[in-house]
Structure 1
Amino acid sequence: MHDSPDLGDRRDAVCVVGAGASGLTAIKNLRELGFQVDCYERETSVGGAWNWRHDRSPVYAGTHLISSRPLTEFPDFPMPDSWPDYPHHSQVLTYLERYAAHFGLVDHIWFGMEVVSAVPTEDGGWEVTTQSTGGGSSRTQRYAAVIVANGHNWDPLKPEIPGEFRGRVIHASAYKDPAVLRGRKVLVVGGGNTGCDIAVEAAQQATKVWHSTRRGYWYAPKYVFGRPADQVNDRLLKYRLPLRLRQWLYRRTVGLTTGDLTRYGLPAPDHQPYESHPIVNSQLPYFLGHGKILPVPDVSSYDGNAVVLADGRRIEPDLVITATGYRPRFEFLDPALLAADEDGRPDLHLHTFARRTPTLAVVGLLQPDSGVLPLAHWQSVAVARWLRLRLSEPERAAAIQAKESTRPVGSWSRRKVVPSRRHWFEVDHVDYLRSVESLLNQMESAS
Structure 2
Amino acid sequence: MVIGGGQAGLASGYYLRRAGADFVILDAYDEPGGAWQHAWPSLRLFSPAPYSSLPGRMMPVPEGSGYPSAADTLAYLTDYERRYELPIVRPARVRAVRNGGERLAVETGTSAGTWHARIVISATGTWGGAYVPYYPGIGDFRGRQLHTATYMGPAPLRGQRVVIVGGGNSAAQILAEVSTVADTTWVTLRPPRLLPDDIDGRALFDLATQRARLADAPAIGDLGVIVAVPAVCEARGRGALKAEPMFARLTADGVAWVDGTTLACDTIVWCTGFRPVLSHLAPLKLRGSDGVILTQGDFTSGNWPHV
TM-score, with length taken from structure 2: 0.85
1:100 paired with 2:78, answer: no
Per-residue deviation at 1:62? Answer: 0.7
Amino acid at match of 2:282: D
Q: Which residue of structure 2 aligns with residue 173 of structure 1?
A: 149
Q: Aligned partners of 2:283 and 2:113: how far apart in 1?
A: 22
> Structure 1 residues 191 and 113, CA, compared in 2 at 3 Å: closer, same or farther?
same
Amino acid at match of 1:316: A
Q: Relative to total residues, which structure has the larger helix share, 1 or 2?
A: 1
Q: Which residue of structure 2 aligns with residue 324 of structure 1?
A: 272
Amino acid at match of 2:107: T
Q: Which residue of structure 1 aligns with residue 72 of structure 2?
A: 91
Q: Which residue of structure 1 aligns with residue 89 of structure 2?
A: 110
Structure number, greater radius of gyration: 1
1:62 paired with 2:42, answer: yes
The structure 1 residue matched to 2:168, chosen from 185, 189, 192, is 192
TM-score, with length taken from structure 1: 0.60
> Structure 1 residues 285 and 210, CA, compared in 2 at 3 Å: closer, same or farther?
farther
Structure 2 residue matching 1:145: 3-state secondary structure: coil
1:78 paired with 2:58, answer: yes
> Structure 1 residues 101 and 172, CA, compared in 2 at 3 Å: closer, same or farther?
same
> Structure 1 residues 326 and 335, CA, compared in 2 at 3 Å: closer, same or farther?
farther
Deviates more, 1:80-89 or 1:36-45: 80-89
Q: Aligned partners of 2:235 and 2:222: how far apart in 1?
A: 26
The structure 1 residue matched to 2:188, chosen from 185, 191, 213, is 213
Q: Which residue of structure 2 aligns with residue 119 of structure 1?
A: 98
Q: Aligned partners of 1:113 and 1:16: how far apart in 2?
A: 11
> Structure 1 residues 95 and 214, CA, compared in 2 at 3 Å: closer, same or farther?
same
> Structure 1 residues 193 and 234, CA, compared in 2 at 3 Å: closer, same or farther?
closer
Q: Which residue of structure 1 aligns with residue 294 of structure 2?
A: 347
CA contact (8 A) 1:197 1:281 kept: no
Per-residue deviation at 1:275? Answer: 6.3
1:155 paired with 2:129, answer: yes
Q: Which residue of structure 1 aligns with residue 253 of structure 2?
A: 305
Q: What runs of 5+ residues in structure 2 fail to find an aligned partner?
A: none
Structure 2 residue matching 1:96: 3-state secondary structure: helix
> Structure 1 residues 22 and 169, CA, compared in 2 at 3 Å: closer, same or farther?
same
Note the alpha carbon deviations across 1:114-170, whole angstroms, 9 max, x for none.
2112112333x21122222xxx6x733321111111111221111212222222222
CA contact (8 A) 2:94 2:108 kept: yes
Q: Aligned partners of 2:152 and 2:236: how far apart in 1?
A: 23
Note the alpha carbon deviations across 1:43-94, whole angstroms, 9 max, x for none.
1122111122xxxxxx101111111212111242112246552011111111
Q: Which residue of structure 2 aligns with residue 396 of structure 1?
A: none
Per-residue deviation at 1:304? Answer: 2.2
Q: Which residue of structure 1 aligns with residue 37 of structure 2?
A: 51
Q: What runs of 5+ residues in structure 1 fail to find an aligned partner?
A: 1-14, 53-58, 248-271, 349-354, 356-404, 413-434, 441-447
Question: Could you tell me the percent identity over the aligned residues?
Answer: 27
> Structure 1 residues 293 and 115, CA, compared in 2 at 3 Å: closer, same or farther?
same
- Give the number of equivalent residue pairs: 299
The structure 2 residue matched to 1:281, chosen from 209, 213, 228, is 228
Per-residue deviation at 1:274? Answer: 3.8
Q: CA RMSD in A?
A: 3.0
Q: Aligned partners of 2:189 and 2:260: how far apart in 1?
A: 15
Per-residue deviation at 1:347? Answer: 3.5
